[in-house]
Structure 1
Amino acid sequence: MHGWVTHPRSVYWGMQGASVEAVRKAYAEIEADPHRDAWLGRLDGEPVFLAETYEPAHSELAAHYVVGDGDVGMHVLVAPPAPGAPVRHGLTSAVMRAVMSFVFADPLARRVVVEPDARNEAIARKNAEVGFEVERRVQLSDKVALLSFCTREAYTRTDPAPPAHLTPETMAVAHRRLVAKAIAEFSHERILTPERDGDDGYAVHGHRFQARRYGLEHWVVDPESLARADGEPVDAMAFVASLAGTLGIPDRLVGTYLEEIAATLAGAAWKHTHERFTAPDLVHADFQAIEAAMTEGHPGFVANNGRIGFGLADHEAYAPEAGRPVRLVWLAVRKAESAFTAGDGVTEDALYADELGADTLDRFAARLRALGLDPADYRYLPAHPWQWEHKHAVTFAPEVARRSIVPLGTGPDSYRAQQSIRTFFNTDRPDRHYVKTALAIQNMGFLRGLSPAYMRATPPINDWVAEVVAGDDTLRDCGFGVLRELASVGYTGDAYHRSGFASAHQRMLAALWRESPVPRLAPGERLATMASLLHRDRAGRSLVAELVAASGLPAERWVAAYLRAYVRPVVHCVLRHDLAFMPHGENVILVLDGHVPTRVFMKDIGEEVAVMSVDRPLPAAIERIRIDVSDDVKALALHTDVFDGFLRHLAGILDGDGVLPWERFWALVGECVAAHGADHPDLRGRLALDRPEFNHSCLNRLQLRNTLQMVDLTDQAGSLIFAGTLANPIAGR
């Protein structure tokens, strides 16, 4: 840095002739200043630029203009080229955009302020490129400066080039993969019926392809083999639109479903373009690197990456695959108009102290007092930055204006968005809790809100489930655990709640805290989302095959260990406690030891768990989780949610990669279920889990029927759609 700031090209940086110690002291002062920050920028790992950001209200600029809320001051210095190094054309322009995008990634940043030396014509040109407009000259202590401003909107208008991931080549890959999945899953759900086409292929709806076909009517379609009979390029949008009647999409929702397909294509293209880790890399990657590397989303749903409401900048800032740090926006909400519910061992004040720290709480309280408000009248609610900007500040503008909702700024910690999009993991303090926020985007059949009323029961539900799990010897022996959602907060003082009419607007201001699994790891253990077992990288290599190889175990032993950690607890919970989870890949976190899954954590308890019994005693506060269903539907907690929903995909990957044959995989599943029965003779045969067939519950049919809300959350079992039966892969084993 000393070489950079004292270089003759950096004359306007104001540090010509400075010693190394002087530079060190200057940046130590910036580091210690709560109103200034310095940032080092890298290109392919090499440091190439320096940026400084500051609060204009705490600079000498405050004497020269009226500082606005959301103003951010900025300086940029690009490293001078090393002697003899080739010139990097366009580097300064790219750096300017990188820094501007970095600043505007904070949703509270509304305008960037710069004050370059009036003689610095080169930086003036670069400022103009990204949207700065000069307001006037001002005399500062060390220079005559051009006071200049760039709003978020002005910056956005300067970069109209097509996004890097939206190219014909990349989109062609996305189209092929999505049509291959659509053919596979719509055929699995008996919406489409492919016919044999010669000795080596199939045909359906004007498309020819090659595929492997397994039990459970599981299809693995080769995307590269896809070809349209009319010779036109494979097109997922055209494929779905032409099938709208066959798929049963209501006329009024065809456009909405197509928009989710388009967004899913865009997300796939982005992931394909920006893939950072191969499957071999992920074998040794940490929890959050694996979380961000997932490319598929839900393995069954075709339109699984809609995120309707997010723009390009939102995707870059908040999508889990982007892997960007996010600072949550904190709101103060009046206690009299909100609700906070805590689980066992949790108090409101202690939660805030542990999650925010004394300094941040003091800052929040000072902000309230500066507005003439009493901090004792308020509690704190974490919000998704997108939600604050697009919903809270607009849809709840009257509540913000009357100070029932008060924005306090961002919190101290950086988070990363998880696969569930609205849940955040604390990367600065992994021991602190996940935060799940309301997010009013349309994604995979739902608007992703959180209901304050519904969440009042969430901590008690989690306490009860955790107590059941902790008190069961079999579950403890499996190492099975749940991540409690231990506190919830929601605002209800708005007109939407007072109106008495149910609407999505009543699910826009709420959050909950969920335990982190990190403090519960033993030395040598690491974490991975179970969804990662279905992951393939851009070259087609599967992570599960790499894990099996890295473990050094025979594939059968690896799979048996995994089934004991995952399937055995699910079976036991259903048979012993009438307790059903939603144990799909994103809801289960694997604990790996030596690259082998040895135990699991189940999450998303409050919204997904069900007690399938009318007789089992339950606390009155959690009565909503009770459902009255037949034994056939009870068994679907294993047959549909585990066998059909996840294991058929895993079995297809292991077979296709030559790791473990399909039949042997299901023999191991049957052995796992049988071993549980042998260990618990009083439960064996209770739901006939090895029956010859089971009802074929279809996920895509739910979304196709109503892509805005595919099930009634108050009667999920009653919302199911069946398409005959499936042959049980463990029958007779």
Structure 2
Amino acid sequence: MTTTAPVTSAAVTSGSAGAPHGTARAGVPPLTIEPVDPGRDSAALHSWLAHPRSRFWDMTDRTPQQVRTYLETVVSDPHQDGWLGRADGAPAFYVETYDPARALADVLDVEPGDVGMHLLVAPPTGEPVPGFTSAVMAAVVRFCLQPATGAGPGLGAARVVVEPDVRNTAVLAKNAAAGFRVLREVDLVSDGRRKRAALSVCTRADHATSPLGAGYAGVHDPYAHLRPEPAAHAHRHLVAKAIAELAHERLLVPRAAGREGWWALETPGGRARYTFAARVLPLDHWLLDEATLTREIDGAPADLDVLELVLELQQTLQVPDDLLAVYLEELSSTLAAATAKRQRALERGGPTAADLLTATYQQTEAAMTEGHPGFLANNGRIGFSLPDYQAYAPENGRRVRLVWVAARREHTHLALGAGLDERTHLAQALSPDEHAAFAQRLADRGLDPDEYHYLPLHPWQAEHRLPVTFAADVARADLVPLGPGGDEHQPQQSIRTFFNLTRPGAPYVKVALAIQNMGFLRGLSPRYMRDTPAINDWVADLVAADPTLAAAGFTVLREQAALGYTGDVYHRTPEPNAHRKMLAALWRENPVPRVTSGERLATMAALLHRDHHGDAHATALVRASGLDPADWLRAYLHAYLRPLVHCLLGHDLAFMPHGENLVLVLRDHVVVRAFMKDVGEEVAVLGPRPLPAALERVRGVTPGDEKALAVFTDVFDGVLRHLSAILEADGVLPAARFWSLVAECLDAYEADHPDLARGLAGDVDLRAERFAHSCLNRLQLRNTLQMVDLTDQSSSLLYAGQMANPVARAARTGADRAV
């Protein structure tokens, strides 16, 4: 018989059902399996086969000599083997294994590593031993599946195949208990005898998770991350983050706890009490020492639990009753992702902060673990199953093939940026083989490829939405599923954006993904996509023509092409709905071709990343650069803050410049320039400057104090606050010195552009003593289904009074004295 591993003549000890391998079930003696010896074993086999219980072997009338001849035939055949099983040394069962490619090729799609199996258990000679047949079945299946090792021989099968008679209900039940799955019923003929058989297969995972298997201990446990240690670690981190960020947003008010630097937080009613050590830095940033955090319930020590914390604080946090469970589910999903990251670190380590100094762009992208630094429930992904999370979560770094659909032209709109025609777009979006294959598949169905556009879908979207939500569109061939593409992609931190790993330099692809994540359903609006390339062209041209931005190396990654499908019934309903945002895509420029020798790309989120040891990548960069920390920070601020300030003050232009929306270019571990991305959905013009008519949707005229929030909220509070805390905690740069360098950057800008120091309208003051404290978690807690109205974001914001500006002129004078 052909097997995947060599089989020796040594016996193999096999465990019994539900017990660890090599151990025996209570009352069942040890079981061993060895090659059959026709001369020695034929008499025993004859007596077993003659028993009425063995009738399905169709050998009850065989003579002893015929049984011996049969065994000799089995042993001499290179495509099958016979095995004798013993119980405590006494013959107790017989196993035949065979090559299904020869015996079942007509009825089975044979796969590499398939092994066929027949089992005969000796009739009991005395009182039956409870569980004996189950133990034998478990031992035999494990013997077939386990590789040959020092612990004993095995066949190393990838899959075991059986074909019992459909009338043999006892064996069918035992097969099911061992993990066999019936593929279908088939008719088989052997030695002139015909039977109706239940063709069945069992993989290692099937058996391990079956009633006769060892449970998830027998295979990689998909729930291994949901155990006490990784859960406790994740709860501690999330409770600490919750207290720190919600105190920052002034929803929670910790009180001094007696000792200097120690604080206490009591929940309403005083039943729960949290104590911790923390320092309060500029911008009301709570630098909380996670290791010191404790919880008490009615004075007794209690485990930290972020879900319980939200329940305890619901009244304070003002989470609506009807949305509490939704928020808790997003938070639970965030917890699950955190435990998975922790378990992966425990099992495999993973890249350290120092490793990332030489990591590729995509290695860095996959190494990020925190998500948004300010949001507590930042990994919601409601709609993903565990396999979906494992396949598509960016921190897992898996390779993904997008699924393509042909969308009828009359129901779609392809928008192309300057310098791009449809032919060039297709050459960038599809490989030649993909393009040819998709056109042929349409032609094979009698459809004209020229009547369709090619639209990529997230695999999850293709599985969960295309055949159900858009069933009618598929049925009338307005949407034609084409299957997976050939290019492999890696999901980015923004989860619905993909980087092409197969064709270097190919555009990013951003697709719709109808899961709930961080307060939004992650769709893409075909209506918005129509104007996206034009908006990007306008912004890119403005940026490229500006000498100040050019000097800082600040550029835009344009979204050059966008495609949206609107032929569905949901686009004809009276009210807008999320279903209108499920079939659209855009293609964005790739930064890789734009870097030169000696330069390295990294997501800006990496500056706020701590590895599984707690080491910060920003600290590693500063130390590896060899620069004074102040000079390293100056370089970063020149590449990041200065361009954003100039865009706001010189052009009334605001981006969404958080960590995942900036791609940094580093040389010798120093930030030298930056790419801005995700422009079409998030850029805003905050003044009355002239705009092409198609771009009017990005205009949002606001007063100067609100314009300034584009820097105060999105840059100071959203990014620099967290970076300052990391450098302070690691002893790299005190927070006061950090903010004095930020002020220095603004001073330099004002000196170079005195006419723009307060913006085009003279109403923006980035050196004001205080500014409105716009809060992110408050938005999500108020409505976790839709944090803000994307068509009117300004009116959706929530404020918690005002914050002292750490770069105010008066504040800076004091800070300079302090350093």
Q: TM-score, normalised by structure 2?
A: 0.74
> Which residue is equivalent to 2:783?
706
Number of the residue aligned with 2:491: 417
Which secondary structure state, in structure 1, belongs to the residue aligned with residue 358 of structure 2? coil
Instruction: Determine helix, strand or coil for the equivalent of 1:572.
Output: helix
Cα distance between partner residues in 1 of 2:189 and 2:581: 51
SS in 2 for 1:209: strand
Q: Which residue of 1 aligns with 2:112?
A: 75
Question: Which residue pairs with 1:273 in the alignment?
Answer: 343
> AA paired with 1:690?
R
Determine helix, strand or coil for the equivalent of 1:174: helix
Change (3 A) 1:647 1:595: same
TM-superposed deviation, 1:75? 2.0
**2:719 is matched with which residue: 635, 640, 646?**
646
Q: Aligned to 2:454, what secondary structure does the other structure show? A: strand
1:537 pairs, out of 587, 611, 615, with 611
Alpha-carbon distance in structure 2 between the residues aligned to 1:500 and 1:341: 26
Tell me, yes or no, if the aligned pair for 1:132 and 1:150 is still in contact at 8 Å: no
Aligned equivalent of 2:807: 730
Structure 1: any 5+ residue segments left out of the alignment?
Answer: 10-58, 97-113, 119-123
User: Greater relative contact order (Cα 8 A, min sep 6): structure 1 or 2?
Assistant: 1
**Aligned amino acid, residue 692 of structure 1:** E
Counterpart CA distance in 1 for 2:277 and 2:155 is 46
Give, in angstroms, the shift of residue 532 of structure 1: 0.8
Change (3 A) 1:88 1:528: farther
Deviation at 1:198, TM superposition (A): 1.5
Q: Which one of the candidate residues 217, 236, 257 is aligned to 2:306? A: 236
> Residues 249 and 379 (structure 1 numbering): CA distance in 2 closer, same or farther, change over 3 Å?
same
Aligned residue number for residue 263 of structure 2 = 202
SS at match of 2:401: coil
> Quick check: 1:184–1:219 contact (8 Å CA) kept in 2?
yes
Superposed CA offset, 1:587-609 (max 9, x none) = 11111111111101111000110
Equivalent-residue separation in structure 2 for 1:178 and 1:90 (angstroms): 46
Equivalent of residue 743 in structure 2, options 657, 670, 677: 670
1:187 deviates by 0.5
Q: Which residue is equivalent to 1:563?
A: 637
Is the Cα–Cα contact under 8 Å of residues 416 and 422 in structure 2 kept in the other structure? yes
Q: In structure 2, which of residues 492, 509, 512 is the aligned counterpart of residue 438 of structure 1? A: 512
1:430-474: CA deviation from partner (whole Å, max 9, x where unpaired): 300111010000000000000101111111000000000000011
Residue 230 of structure 2 corresponds to residue 170 of structure 1: yes
Distance 1:453 1:198, change over 3 A: same
The amino acid that maps onto 1:75 is P
The aligned residue for residue 292 of structure 1 is 366
State the alpha-carbon separation in 1 of the partners of residues 728 and 161 from structure 2: 63
The CA distance in 2 between the partners of 1:178 and 1:545, in whole Å, is: 22
> C-alpha separation between the residues in 1 aligned to 2:773 and 2:482?
50
Alpha-carbon distance in structure 2 between the residues aligned to 1:156 and 1:402: 44
In 2: Cα distance, 1:448 partner to 1:515 partner:
21
User: Could you tell me which residue of structure 1 aligns to residue 437 of structure 2?
Assistant: 363
Which of residues 688, 694, 697 in structure 1 aligns to 2:774? Answer: 697
* Secondary structure of the corresponding residue to residue 786 of structure 2: coil
1:86 deviates by 4.1
1:85, distance to aligned residue in structure 2 (A): 7.0
Check whether the contact 1:137–1:147 (CA below 8 A) recurs between aligned residues.
no
Name 1:627's counterpart in structure 2: 700
1:284-305 CA-to-partner distances (Å, cap 9, x unmatched) read 1111111111111001011111
2:710 to 608, 629, 637: 637
Separation in structure 2 between the aligned mates of residue 228 and residue 164 of structure 1, nearest angstrom: 26
State which drifts further: 223-232 or 501-510. 223-232
CA distance in 2, matches of 1:404, 1:237: 45
What is the rounded CA distance, in whole Å, between the counterparts of 2:243 and 2:155 in structure 1? Answer: 45
Structure label with greater radius of gyration: 2
- Aligned-residue CA RMSD (Å): 3.3
Amino acid in structure 2 at the alignment position of 1:256: V
TM-superposed deviation, 1:499 = 2.2
Seen in structure 2, the aligned counterparts of structure 1 residues 74 and 449 have a Cα distance that, compared at 3 Å, is farther
Check the 8 A contact 1:439/1:449 in 2, yes or no: yes
Cα distance, 1:348–1:87 mapped onto 2, change above 3 Å? farther
SS of residue in 1 equivalent to 2:453: strand
Offset, 1:84? 11
| Separation in 2, partners of 1:402, 1:232 | 59
| 2:327 is aligned with 1:257 | yes
Match of 2:377 among 293, 300, 303: 303
Aligned-partner residue type, residue 194 of structure 1: P
Q: What amino acid is aligned across from residue 265 of structure 2 in structure 1?
A: V
Q: How far is 1:136 from its partner?
A: 3.9
Q: Hey, what's the Cα distance between the residues in 2 that align with 1:383 and 1:73?
A: 32
Which residue number corresponds to residue 52 of structure 1?
A: none
- Counterpart CA distance in 1 for 2:423 and 2:162 is 46
Which amino acid is 1:234 matched to?
Answer: L
Q: What CA distance in whole angstroms lies between the structure 1 residues aligned with 2:613 and 2:152?
A: 31
**Aligned counterpart, 1:464:** 538
**Inter-partner Cα distance in structure 1 for 2:103 and 2:578:** 44
Name the counterpart of 1:660.
Answer: 733
1:334 aligns with 2:401: no
Deviation, 1:500, is: 3.3
Match of 1:214 in 2: 281
Per-residue deviation at 1:547?
Answer: 1.0
- Give aligned pairs, total: 649
Q: Quick one: which of 782, 796, 799 aligns to 1:719?
A: 796
Counterpart-to-counterpart distance in 2, 1:320 and 1:91? 37
User: What SS is found at the alignment partner of 1:166?
Assistant: coil
Are residues 1:522 and 2:600 paired? Answer: no
Q: How does 1:388-403 map to 2 (within 5 A)?
A: 388-403=462-477
Change (3 A) 1:648 1:129: same
Aligned to 2:246: 186
Q: 2 CA distance for matches of 1:416 and 1:61?
A: 42
- Identical positions, percent: 54
* Distance (whole Å) between structure 2 residues aligned to residue 74 and residue 474 of structure 1: 63
Contact 2:553 2:673 in 1 (8 A): yes
What is the distance in 1 between the residues matched to 2:315 and 2:239?
A: 17
- C-alpha deviation, 1:350, in angstroms: 2.1
Q: Is the 8 A contact 2:6 2:155 kept in 1?
A: no
**Farther off after superposition, 238-247 or 704-713:** 238-247
Residue 387 of structure 2 aligns to a residue in which SS?
helix
Distance 1:6 1:307, change over 3 A: closer
Tell whether the 8 Å contact from 1:253 to 1:706 is kept in structure 2 after alignment.
yes
* Structure 1 residue 155, shift from structure 2 partner: 10
Query: What TM-score results when the alignment is normalised by the length of structure 1?
Result: 0.83
Change (3 A) 1:342 1:139: farther
Alpha-carbon deviations, 1:550-594, whole Å to 9, x = none?
A: 111111111111110100100010011110000000111111111
How far apart are the structure 2 equivalents of 1:573 and 1:89?
A: 70
Aligned counterpart, 2:652 = 578
* Cα shift readout 1:378-420 (whole Å, capped 9, x = no counterpart): 1100000000111111111111111111110111110011111
Partner Cα distance (1:434, 1:575) in 2: 30
Summarize the Cα distance change of 1:713–1:336 in structure 2 as closer, same or farther, 3 Å threshold: same
SS at match of 2:663: strand
- Contact 2:178–2:207 under 8 Å retained in 1: no
Deviates more, 1:508-517 or 1:128-137: 128-137
**Alpha-carbon distance change, 557 to 73 in structure 1, aligned in 2, over 3 angstroms:** farther
Q: Which amino acid aligns with 1:617?
A: P
Per-residue deviation at 1:349?
2.6
Pick which of 153-162 and 467-476 moved more: 153-162
Deviations 1:628-662 (A, max 9, x none): 10000111111111001110000000010011111
Query: Quick one: distance in 1 between partners of 2:581 and 2:643?
Result: 33
Structure 2: distance between partners of 1:538 and 1:581: 31
Aligned to 1:395, the other structure's residue is in SS state coil
